[in-house]
Structure 1
Amino acid sequence: MTDLVVVLPGIMGSTLANADGTPVWDLSGGALWRAVRTFGGAVKRLRLPADIGDDHPGDGVVAVGLMPDLHVIPGIWQPVDGYTEFVDWLEEEFFLSRPSAAAPGNLLAFPYDWRLSCRYNAERLKHRTERELERWRASAPDRRDARVIFVCHSMGGLIARHYVERLGGHGITRRLITLGTPHRGSLDALAHLVNGMRKGWGPLGVDLSALARSLPSLHQLAPDYACVEGPGGLAYARDLPGLPGVDPELLKDAGEFHAALRRAADRPVPTELHAVTGVRQPTATTAAYDDDRLTPLWEIDGTDEGGDGTVPRLSARPANASGDGYPVSESYTPCEQHGSLQNHGGVREALWGLLTGEPRFHRGDEGTAPLLGVLAPSLPAPGEPYEVAVTVPPRTRGHDELLVIAELRPAGDGPPVSRSLRNLGGGRYGTAFPAPAPGAYRLAVRANGHAESTVTALALVGGPGE
């Protein structure tokens, strides 16, 4: 591998520190819940001023690294697993090296201030990528023709696309790979803006809702398709006057951001873009609006298209400028949830072909593993049982005769708890774990005898008073 590989995380996936190096966002793993309990002051300091646009607020906050473990800020986004293991895997499997002050390298992890607009962060990406590529090319004769491969999770794909397609990056880019990027937005982002903090985490709600609603980035993650039910059918959120919680100017600007990307995607020689799309997970795709609240719905025009539990399938690859199709096909469709895509075994096998140009190593007959759709709360109410529902499509052989097993494992210390799900008939399975203790958890669900069928959901459990 002589190209430069650049890894971009999703929203909240970068650690943040202030000017003197004191961390202001690095809460993950087993310490996450304990820190969230006293997080109010730090959140207040992260809030952005009005009319921030594509600028930095000048508050001294900088991005210093990638989040190493499970992380979430309730009320902004769903839980996401860490990136340390993923970057280590890239380094080891493809014989990459990381740059330092003393030596160039060809594996660049790009943390960014995820509060700010994708345009701002794309400018930072441009300067860093082009500087590191120049160093790498100059370090050896066989590297003179090196180009860039971007591997991006979630919002990181929007930042990379803006650099590649709007700031001249296509000239040095070999390919751009997105994992669960909401190219057309996510209903979850809009619901967080409108509804505010989830009921059940009340004492943190005011501060966290105010932070969420100040972020240009979260507005740029809102759906760029007609998604809100109204008398005349589905409507764009930006066309609904008085929608609470959203900043109308930021939402309008987000529409312009996405429109510019759609126009760029129709270039005569488009960027080689590969979209990895999580499928088969219950995913909010549209919403009903009533009494100043959005009620998420699974279907669009009567069809449940699923997705990765956070990003609808229709959104996980970009639309063209005319809005009547997609400029790229789905490169790989794992049965996995959004926050765990980067650590999914099948995704990593797919990356072999996307990074090296070689087909994935054949590990047996593909397509035989049962496809599990997992519905489990990401922020369960404190003190209540943790309920898990699983569906298996009828086309799966023996879809209603499987032994489905769920394991709930703390992100920090503590033993896992396993349950065999009840067979409810018709390919439906369910169970309820006793109320978990406060903390962060990974839920792994699989069909017995099919380890490759595993779907991983993430959760943060609050305590009394949250």
Structure 2
Amino acid sequence: MEDLVVVVPGIMGSRLADAQGRPVWDLSGGTLLRAVRTLGGSLKNLRLPAGTGDDHPGDGVRPVGLMPDLHVVPGLWEPIDGYTGLMSWLSRTFGLTPGDNLLDFPYDWRLSCRYNAGLLKRRVEEALERRRAARPGQAGARVVFICHSMGGLVARHYVECLGGHAVTRRVITLGTPHRGSLDALGHLVNGLHKGWGPLGLDLTAFARSLPSLHQLAPDYACLAGPDGGLEYARDLPGLPGVDPELLADAARFHAALRSAADRQDRTELHAVVGVHQPTATTARYAEAEGRLVLLETIGGTDEGGDGTVPRLAARPANADRTGHLVAESHTACEQHGSLQNNPGVRDTLIRLLGQEPPFHRGGEGAGPPLGVHAPGLLEPGDPYEVTVTVPVAADGHDRLALTAELHPAAGGRPVLRSLRNLGGGRYAATYPAPAPGGYRLVVRPDRTDEGAVTALTLVGGPDD
């Protein structure tokens, strides 16, 4: 491949170290719970001072690599799978060499997307210049970005606002909240669930200090206003936990992307969108409770999404807000945290990177669309309850044989359950309270991988 392929992870997807090289966010020991317990105090200390804006706080924190495995900061975002598998697959499938024509871009995800886009510009353009100089026959090499979640906003700001379109062939986004996510706003307002007290961990103040989390808040009318209609979060003053200045700045960030994306010479943008998962799309503020109540409908319709990013927000709007800027390049029946490892998504990457489609697999269907609801954070001692819904329009929606395997992220034998058919396309299974740690739940139709959906969970536990 002539082009330079750059992988940009999402929020929390980069390992962070302090000025002495000590990890402040890393999966040390190979277990998610140990990392959260050990590094929770470090993350509390990484709270950003007010007025950080698009700068670095000067605290010596630096990114040192991609997160390799299941990771989550409780109260900040939902669990995400690591990027080691994606990097290995790209290297094998396309003959790419890490550090040469395959780059990762770890970044300090606490900071503004604008700040990190500036660093991305420097890293990419230096690497591209070296590559072109070392290979005169590849002077036409350009950049292809593969971006998960917030990484798509970082790459888009570089490409569309900092001149990156001149060297970029295409930007591929996987579950990027181009128009924001209700989950981000919910975490800002509601904070960390008190049931996580046994870990002695409350990162609410840390999360609320982050420009990046505010830039992930919805950039569409999503909150029920006084007259019952939907309004923008920035137009409803007084929401607790939200920094109004950061929220207003986030609105300017998204407005700049919309304006720049309408240029005549804009770069190809391909949006891979997760669908059919229960996804918070609108909300109302319950003043008596002092919290946001998240709703999965808008205008009375459940449009779904990837469980974290609503379908309507996974594609950018044009400058006039009269429609989406690009069509959906692929819709994966998958959850947000596992899109980068989904087989159907990887088939789409093969096509978008200009390779021959995998015809050798023969005729394969996508499988029935499974909407999986499983807790991202589970309190210690609670049973693990899974519910699956299948649209009534799907063939055989009420007579599927569904199984679920609960895999410990740190290794060990998975626990298999057959889901109970509740009728009407609804299925359920209950596991006894899992031991503390991280888990991957894989739901399959008829015990096949085709159409499988992966949900990620962190189970809390008492301090050692």
- The equivalent position to 2:388 in structure 1, one of 373, 384, 390, is 390
1:233-382 superposed matches below 5 A = 233-291=229-287, 292-356=290-354, 358-361=356-359, 363-367=361-365, 369-382=367-380
For the pair 1:430 / 2:421, whether they are aligned, the reply is no
Q: 1:154 aligns with which of 142, 149, 156?
A: 149
Cα RMSD over matched residues? 1.6
**Contact 2:332/2:345, CA 8 A, preserved across alignment:** yes
- Which of these residues, 390, 397, 401, is aligned with residue 399 of structure 2? 401
CA drift of 1:204 comes to 5.8
Deviation at 1:28, TM superposition (A): 6.5
Deviations 1:12-50 (A, max 9, x none): 000001112111110278522123234342022211111
1:388–1:430: 8 Å Cα contact kept in structure 2?
yes
Amino acid at match of 2:122: H
Which residue of 2 is the match for residue 419 of structure 1?
417
User: Residue type matched to 1:8 in 2?
Assistant: V
Q: Which amino acid in 2 is paired with 1:311?
A: V
Q: Does 1:24 align with 2:24?
A: yes
Deviations 1:282-304 (A, max 9, x none): 00001110122101100011110
Q: Which residue of 1 aligns with 2:71?
A: 71
Distance 1:278 1:362 in 2: 25
**Cα distance per residue 1:395-417 (max 9 Å; x no partner):** 22111111100000100132110
What SS does the aligned partner of 2:322 have? coil
CA–CA separation in structure 2 for the residues paired with 1:28 and 1:230: 45
Using the size of structure 2 for normalisation, the TM-score is 0.97
SS of 2:430's partner is strand
Task: Tell me, in whole angstroms, the C-alpha distance in 1 between the residues paired with 2:316 and 2:95.
Answer: 31
Q: Distance in 2 between matches of 1:160 and 1:396?
A: 36
Contact 2:386/2:428 (<8 A) preserved: yes
Which one of the candidate residues 124, 129, 151 is aligned to 1:129?
124
- 1:121-175 alpha-carbon deviations (Å, 9 max, x no partner): 0000000000000001111122111000000000000000000000000000000
Q: Distance in 2 between matches of 1:219 and 1:352?
A: 33
Structure 1: distance between partners of 2:242 and 2:463: 27
What is the DSSP-based 3-state SS (H/G/I as helix, E as strand, rest coil) of the residue aligned with 1:356? coil
User: Which shows bigger deviation, 444-453 or 244-253?
Assistant: 444-453
Q: Is 1:34 the equivalent of 2:30? A: no
Look up the equivalent residue of 1:43 and give its one-letter code.
L
Percent identity at matched positions? 70
Contact between 1:185 and 1:315, CA under 8 Å: does it hold in 2? Answer: yes
Q: 1:194 aligns with which of 186, 189, 193?
A: 189
* C-alpha distance in 2 between matches for 1:64 and 1:451: 34
Match of 1:113 in 2: 108
389-398 or 273-282, which moves further after superposition? Answer: 389-398
Cα displacement string for residues 431-462 of structure 1 (whole angstroms, at most 9, x for unaligned residues) = 11000000000000011153211100000000
Residue ranges of structure 2 left out of the alignment (5+ in a row): none
Give the direction of change, closer, same or farther, for the CA distance of 1:40–1:6 in structure 2 (3 Å limit): closer
Q: Assess, with a 3 A threshold, how the Cα gap between structure 1 residues 368 and 212 changes in structure 2: closer, same or farther.
A: closer
Question: What secondary structure does 2:405 align onto?
Answer: strand
Deviates more, 1:15-24 or 1:273-282: 15-24
Gaps of 5+ in 1: 100-104
Pair 1:176-2:171 in alignment: yes
Instruction: Look up the SS of the partner of 1:200 in the other structure.
Output: helix
SS at match of 1:217: helix
**Quick one: structure 1 residues 194 and 465, their matched pair in 2 at CA, closer, same or farther if it must change by over 3 Å?**
farther
How far residue 465 of structure 1 moved from its aligned partner, in angstroms, is 7.6
The whole-number CA distance in structure 2 between the counterparts of 1:18 and 1:373 is 40
* Number of residue pairs aligned between Structure 1 and Structure 2: 461
Residue range with higher mean Cα deviation, 195-204 or 52-61: 195-204
Instruction: Report the residue type matching 2:9 in the other structure.
Output: P
Separation in 1 of the partners of 2:454 and 2:29? 15
CA contact (8 A) 2:157 2:257 kept: yes
Amino acid paired to 1:278: G
Structure 1 residue 142 and structure 2 residue 137: aligned? yes
Partner of 1:51: 51
Q: Which moved more, 1:179-188 or 1:268-277?
A: 268-277
1: distance between equivalents of 2:219 and 2:2? 37
Q: Distance in 1 between matches of 2:185 and 2:153?
A: 17
Task: Show the counterpart of 1:102.
Answer: none
Instruction: Tell me if structure 1 keeps the 8 A contact 2:403–2:447.
Output: no
Structure 1 pair 465–195 and aligned structure 2 pair: CA distance change class (3 A): farther
Q: Which amino acid aligns with 1:351?
A: L
Q: 1:236 is matched by which residue type in structure 2? A: Y
Distance 1:4 1:29 in 2: 33
Greater shift, 338-347 or 389-398, is seen at 389-398
User: Match for 1:264: what amino acid?
Assistant: A
Report if the CA contact (8 A) 2:40-2:201 is conserved.
no
SS at match of 1:142: helix
> Does the 8 Å contact 1:157/1:181 carry over to 2?
yes
Q: Does structure 1 conserve the Cα–Cα contact (< 8 Å) formed by 2:422 and 2:428? A: yes
Q: For 1:395 and 1:269, how far apart are their aligned partners in 2?
A: 41
Report Cα offsets for 1:43-79 as digits up to 9, x if no partner: 2221111110000000000001000000001000000
1:12 aligns with 2:8: no
Q: Distance in 1 between matches of 2:200 and 2:310?
A: 26
Aligned to 2:96: 96
For 1:390, the aligned partner's letter is V
Q: Secondary structure at the match of 1:37?
A: helix
Deviation at 1:381, TM superposition (A): 2.0
- What is the CA deviation profile of residues 374-397 of structure 1, one whole-angstrom value per residue up to 9, with x for unaligned ones? 000000122111000001112221
1:28/1:68 contact within 8 Å kept: no
- Cα deviation, 1:218-237, whole Å, max 9, x if unaligned, reads 00000000111123211111
